[in-house]
């Protein structure tokens, strides 16, 4: 274990909260000027017309490409080879000449992708475990982090969030030693106004303390990974209880419809989700009409089909994104592995373009015996008619075409009748194209960064067609 973490875990609660608050306070100070300026700008630009937004985006993209050409050896080389001349660009068409960037290309050209004229002190090292389990490290400048945080604030502002109030947070942070069995299972982060709960302690007898604490403090906003909030909602349901909130924000993992409905029911509040990746190449935020608006001031987002051509409105393809702000290590046309489609505009008043809910990753697609693609959303259907307390957690694993293993952590509502119903529901939908094996487990491990993956497929994705 990291020695710093060992010292931390031995601290009493007050000291833990103090130590987190000091760290977060310093972190906040470091980014303050970047967040403030980005936030002021975003609160204005959100009311721009679509044409004004496109003009802003175009100017930023052009500046980035010129910069990358002059200061990033990888792009200088690639632009030469493919005849990309950023200085003479007049529209977005030039992007089509630039080859896609993948994790693999980044790993192979890591040093060449770093800007040569930004001091390391102006960058920070970031990484993603990726829901695919293939980690990636990269550099980001302070400004990009400023935009990232400002977008979150703007999203909250859309929902009328009161920034003076505390929020209960159920993300992936380790804040309490894993073997601790006595409350408190949380720490207070004063600068960010967060009570950070340990999502590694979501067991009934621990959740009781968490819920009691939230009620006692009168917290009315909750945020976190949807899988964590779903576990809390399941627990509330098992007790026939509710935890009314004014704000529920989810992100970082797909929020499947079955999760959303139980969370909304038990927290008596609409869920507002955001989609984004740590690489800062794709971001979209749900408005009050539950449409996902692209953060186009800092991201150029494309959706492409399997041939790499742009998808039409309504056509599902892979999200390819370019961060318009990260000059430390520009990612241009980065393949995210996430599937979505452009949809018609929203009538909420924002001109920011809209994409459909991102609940599917290319890696999450299951292949039936005849190589038909089954999305995770389709896999949720057989579970729907079950008792909500039958399955506490589940995970779908595919190692061979046409075969899946459904791992299940049984809940109090589980019975052999429920098991039969689940198998029958799968058969009704997929016939003999999908062999389903159920395996009971005590726990479903999370990924290295504390995220939960519902579907894991080991199959190669080369033959996927998702047009
Ligand atoms: Zn909207």
Picking from 371, 377, 393, 360, the residue whose alpha carbon sits closest to that of residue 459 is 371
**Structure letter (DSSP) for residue 94:** G
What confidence category does residue 1 fall into, taking pLDDT thresholds of 50, 70 and 90? very low
The parent domain of residue 266 ranges over: 1-357
Q: Describe the crossing of helices 204-217 and 226-238 by its angle, rounded to 10 degrees.
A: 100
CA 280 to centroid of ligand 1, rounded, Å: 21
Same-domain status, 324 and 402: no
Picking from 238, 219, 174, 155, the residue whose alpha carbon sits closest to that of residue 16 is 174
CA 81 to centroid of ligand 1, rounded, Å: 41
467 located within any domain:
no
Asked whether the whole model's pTM tops 0.75, one would answer: yes
Same-domain status, 69 and 155: yes
Q: Residue 409 pLDDT > 50, yes or no?
A: yes
What residues have CB less than 8 Å from 239, skipping those under 6 apart? none
Whose tokens are 């400002």? That residue is 150
445 located within any domain:
yes
Question: Which CATH number goes with the domain that contains 43?
Answer: 3.40.50.12780
60-87 average pLDDT score = 98
Of the CA atoms within 13 Å of residue 53, those in its CB half-sphere come to 21
Please state whether beta strands 366-367 and 360-361 pair in parallel, antiparallel, or not at all (unpaired). unpaired
Please state whether beta strands 292-294 and 299-304 pair in parallel, antiparallel, or not at all (unpaired). unpaired
Average predicted confidence (pLDDT) for the chain? 89
CA 170 to centroid of ligand 1, rounded, Å: 26
CA 258 to centroid of ligand 1, rounded, Å: 22
Measured CA to CA, the distance from residue 246 to residue 63 in angstroms comes to 41
Comparing 44-58, 97-111, 131-145, 161-175, which segment has the lowest mean pLDDT? 131-145
CA 150 to centroid of ligand 1, rounded, Å: 18
What confidence category does residue 2 fall into, taking pLDDT thresholds of 50, 70 and 90? low
Same-domain status, 280 and 320: yes
Please state whether beta strands 334-340 and 360-361 pair in parallel, antiparallel, or not at all (unpaired). antiparallel
What confidence category does residue 305 fall into, taking pLDDT thresholds of 50, 70 and 90? very high
List the beta bridge partners of residue 440: 408
3 compared with 419, residue with greater pLDDT:
419
What confidence category does residue 466 fall into, taking pLDDT thresholds of 50, 70 and 90? very low
Q: Residue 205 pLDDT > 60, yes or no?
A: yes
End-to-end, the C-alpha distance of the chain in Å comes to 45
* pLDDT tens digits along 327-337: 999 999 999 98
Picking from 324, 327, 272, the residue whose alpha carbon sits closest to that of residue 68 is 327
pLDDT at 131: 45
Same-domain status, 276 and 398: no
CA 405 to centroid of ligand 1, rounded, Å: 38
Whose tokens are 């150029």? That residue is 300
Please state whether beta strands 342-343 and 334-340 pair in parallel, antiparallel, or not at all (unpaired). unpaired
End position of a domain, from candidates 325, 357, 389: 357
pLDDT at 278: 86
258-286 average pLDDT score = 95
Structure token digits, residue 366? 């299951």
Measured CA to CA, the distance from residue 79 to residue 69 in angstroms comes to 7
465 located within any domain:
no
Domain count, the chain: 2
CA 298 to centroid of ligand 1, rounded, Å: 18
User: Coil, helix or strand for 147?
Assistant: helix
**Structure letter (DSSP) for residue 310:** B
Same-domain status, 412 and 313: no
Q: Residue 439 pLDDT > 60, yes or no?
A: yes
190-210 average pLDDT score = 91
Of the CA atoms within 13 Å of residue 66, those in its CB half-sphere come to 10
């Amino acid at each position: 274990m990291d020695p710093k973490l060992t010292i931390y875990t031995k601290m009493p609660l007050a000291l833990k909260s103090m130590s987190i608050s000091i760290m977060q306070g310093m972190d906040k100070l470091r980014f303050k000027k970047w967040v403030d300026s980005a936030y002021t700008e975003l609160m204005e630009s959100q009311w721009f017309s679509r044409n004004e937004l496109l003009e802003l985006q175009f100017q930023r993209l052009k500046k980035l490409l010129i910069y990358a050409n002059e200061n990033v050896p990888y792009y200088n080389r690639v632009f030469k080879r493919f005849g990309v001349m950023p200085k003479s660009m007049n529209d977005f068409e030039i992007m089509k000449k630039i080859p896609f960037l993948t994790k693999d290309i980044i790993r192979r050209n890591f040093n060449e992708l770093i800007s040569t004229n930004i001091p390391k002190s102006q960058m920070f090292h970031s990484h993603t475990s990726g829901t695919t389990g293939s980690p990636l490290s990269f550099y980001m400048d302070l400004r990009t982090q400023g935009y990232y945080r400002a977008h979150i604030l703007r999203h909250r502002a859309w929902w009328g969030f009161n920034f003076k109030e505390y929020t209960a947070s159920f993300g992936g942070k380790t804040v309490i030693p894993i073997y601790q069995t006595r409350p408190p299972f949380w720490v207070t982060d004063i600068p960010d106004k967060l009570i950070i709960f340990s999502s590694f302690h979501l067991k009934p007898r621990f959740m009781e303390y968490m819920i009691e604490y939230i009620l006692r403090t009168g917290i009315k906003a909750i945020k976190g990974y949807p899988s964590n909030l779903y576990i809390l909602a399941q627990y509330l349901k098992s007790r026939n209880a509710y935890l009314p909130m004014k704000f529920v924000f989810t992100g970082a993992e797909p929020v499947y419809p079955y999760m959303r409905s139980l969370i909304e029911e038990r927290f008596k509040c609409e869920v507002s989700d955001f989609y984004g990746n740590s690489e800062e190449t794709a971001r979209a935020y749900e408005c009050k009409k539950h449409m996902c608006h692209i953060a186009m001031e800092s991201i150029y987002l494309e959706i492409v089909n399997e041939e790499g051509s742009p998808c039409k409105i309504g056509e599902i393809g892979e999200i390819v994104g370019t961060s318009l702000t990260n000059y430390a290590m520009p990612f241009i046309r980065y393949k995210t592995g996430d599937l979505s489609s452009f949809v018609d505009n929203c009538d909420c008043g924002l001109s920011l373009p809209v994409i459909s809910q991102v609940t599917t990753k290319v890696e999450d697609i299951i292949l039936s015996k005849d190589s038909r693609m089954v999305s995770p959303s389709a896999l949720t259907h057989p579970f729907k008619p079950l008792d909500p307390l039958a399955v506490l957690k589940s995970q779908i694993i595919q190692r061979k075409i046409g075969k899946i293993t459904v791992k299940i952590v049984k809940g109090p509502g589980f019975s052999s009748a429920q098991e039969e119903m689940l198998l029958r529901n799968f058969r009704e939908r997929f016939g003999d194209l999908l062999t389903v094996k159920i395996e009971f487990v005590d726990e479903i491990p999370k990924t290295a960064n504390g995220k939960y993956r519902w579907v894991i497929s080991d199959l190669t994705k080369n033959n996927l067609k998702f047009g």
